[in-house]
Amino acid sequence: DAGITQSPRHKVTETGTPVTLRCHQTENHRYMYWYRQDPGHGLRLIHYSYGVKDTDKGEVSDGYSVSRSKTEDFLLTLESATSSQTSVYFCAISASGGTDTQYFGPGTRLTVL
């Protein structure tokens, strides 16, 4: 298994509070991704990073921001959580982007009350 960890694994928070999810990798891969998974929607890309301090938006980026200050860590922040952001969040990594395969972390289940 690729060395990807996510923290926390579970979180319950209240509407309006800020939340930060962390993805940590030990593979030294350049590309990192955040997806959310919802019933009936599969996995959808939120943001991705193609290097330290280099990030871009995905399909469902509204309400989310990311940061990558070092290769191994990619943070996803919900500035003011809403109930529509209740979801399971997955981080993925790949060595070279493009057609290189992506490997997924174990996920974080976030509930916004």
Partner 1 sequence: GQQLNQSPQSMFIQEGEDVSMNCTSSSIFNTWLWYKQDPGEGPVLLIALYKAGELTSNGRLTAQFGITRKDSFLNISASIPSDVGIYFCAGQLWGGADGLTFGKGTHLIIQP
Share of the chain residues as helix, strand and coil, in percent rounded to the nearest 5:
5, 60, 40
The residue among 80 and 101 lying less far from partner 1, judged by its C-beta, is 101
Among 19, 21, 25, 35, binds partner 1 (CB under 8 A): 35
90 belongs to the binding site for partner 1 (CB under 8 A): yes
Tell me if 43 contacts partner 1 by CB under 8 A.
yes
Closest CA to 60 of 89, 96, 32, 80: 89
Note whether 84 and 60 are within 8 A (CB).
no
Measured CA distances, 61 to 39, 55, 76, 90, 101 (Å): 18, 12, 11, 14, 22
Is position 97 an interface residue for partner 1 (rule: CB under 8 A)? Answer: yes
Q: Is position 21 an interface residue for partner 1 (rule: CB under 8 A)? A: no
107 belongs to the binding site for partner 1 (CB under 8 A)? yes
Count of positions on this chain that bind partner 1 (CB under 8 A)? 27
Judged by CB under 8 A, which stretch of 13-21, 69-77, 78-86, 97-105 contacts partner 1? 97-105
